Amino acid sequence: MGNSRVPPLAPEVQVAVAAAFGLGRVVACQPVQTGVMNLNWQLSTDRGVFAVKRLTDRSPEVVRAGQTLLPRLAGRGFPVAAPWTTADGDSILRIGDFAYAVNDWILGRHPNGDDLDAEALGDLVGRLHVELADLCPAAPGRMRDSPATVDRARAELARFAARAAESRDDFDRFAGREIPRRLDLLRTIADRRPPEADLAPCGWTHGDLNRLNLLIGDDGRINGLLDWDRLDVRPYGREVVRTATILFGDDLERIAGFVRGYRERVPITDEQLADAAERRWWELATETWPLKRHYDAGDTSCDHLFTTRGAYLYWWTDHRREVRAAITPRRRSTGSKSSGVAR
């Protein structure tokens, strides 16, 4: 992904957004290049600094639901960016072919894994799940999961191998080498597909807790939980495993600390966590969505994820036993923090 993925926001759009949301007179507007899916800008006015997002990866209805939740989360003590609304009370503004949302700008920086107190972050995510269960509509306690099949993954990879052979840029050359390697892995692990099953516990989750959706202050504490576009009901184990492995990679001690902190808030068994880990590993082994975005949608913003997620997949495959042990640490105590959100 290049350093200029996000273009400047047209001056007339800057003015229209500022006027509709009552932000004041525009002073400056800078593209934010750290995101992946949506396009974002830092808009400065004579009234303050704001985050402007152009919706490209989620519908206005989905984003609106997340924006509506934020004030209630702030009232529960979570570090979220307050949404702004137009004169008619809508948190989404449509200008031409695009829709925009505006939130307060939160000062801070995106952390690396070493910047984070893993156990404290796990505790925060556990508390978040508890509060979401109280703030959001009732969620099912169990959800059906049907992991991707090897045959489907093979067919998609073969299709994209043919597309890669048609061109000669750097990504095509990498894909041309990587896809056969991925097919070889699938042949090796074909008998390890997790079974279709009803998973529990389930509830409302953030859906994308990665470093670009977290901000930390000078004191190292989390002061921003960003991007609520993927708010949805999921198995809790899915969010726990995904978050721990994305943020802490091969640092098994920090993965264990994160899960330990989470379990102080939410009851979830070793078996449920181990199963979630296997399903996440299988998802990485069979996913083709970065290739789909590149070849079918002409969107290169996720090209780097095909590289990094593949490298992590091979590491995980070689360390499955160690990852399972890190994902299933014992809680330090049976203290009173535990909540009844799990079913």
Answer whether 0.85 is exceeded by the pTM: yes
Say if residue 169 is exposed, middle or buried (CB neighbours under 10 Å; 0-12, 13-18, 19+): exposed
For residue 2, tell me if it sits in a domain: no
| Residue entry with tokens 């000078």 | 218
CB contact at 8 A, 85 and 101: no
| Residue entry with tokens 């609520």 | 228
For residue 222, tell me if it sits in a domain: yes
CB contact at 8 A, 189 and 317: yes
Where the chain has pLDDT below 70, the residues are 1-4, 331-343
Distance CA 101, CA 66 (A): 11
pLDDT of residue 34: 84
The DSSP secondary structure of 329-342, one letter per residue, reads PPPS---TT--S--
- Do 260 and 150 lie in one domain? The reply is yes
- Do 94 and 130 lie in one domain? The reply is no
pLDDT of residue 195: 98
For residue 270, tell me if it sits in a domain: yes
- Do 203 and 318 lie in one domain? The reply is yes
Continuous segment of H or E residues that includes residue 103: strand 98-104
CB contact at 8 A, 63 and 230: no
pLDDT tens for 231-266 read: 999 999 999 999 999 999 999 999 999 999 999 999
For residue 45, tell me if it sits in a domain: yes
pLDDT of residue 2: 40
Helices 236-248 and 270-286 sit at what angle, rounded to 10 degrees? 60
For residue 200, tell me if it sits in a domain: yes
- Do 205 and 134 lie in one domain? The reply is yes
Range of the domain at 76: 11-104
For residue 5, tell me if it sits in a domain: no
For residue 54, what is the domain's CATH number? 3.30.200.20
- Do 158 and 15 lie in one domain? The reply is no
For residue 338, tell me if it sits in a domain: no
For residue 298, tell me if it sits in a domain: yes
- Do 124 and 214 lie in one domain? The reply is yes
The dihedral sign for the CA sequence 57, 216, 330, 336? negative
pLDDT of residue 35: 73
- Do 55 and 93 lie in one domain? The reply is yes
- Do 88 and 166 lie in one domain? The reply is no
- Do 175 and 294 lie in one domain? The reply is yes
- Do 63 and 134 lie in one domain? The reply is no
Beta bridge partners of 50: 43, 104
pLDDT of residue 333: 55
For residue 245, what is the domain's CATH number? 3.90.1200
Distance CA 128, CA 237 (A): 14
- Do 60 and 166 lie in one domain? The reply is no
State the total domains in the chain: 2
pLDDT tens for 68-125 read: 999 999 999 999 999 999 999 999 999 999 999 999 999 999 999 899 999 999 999 9
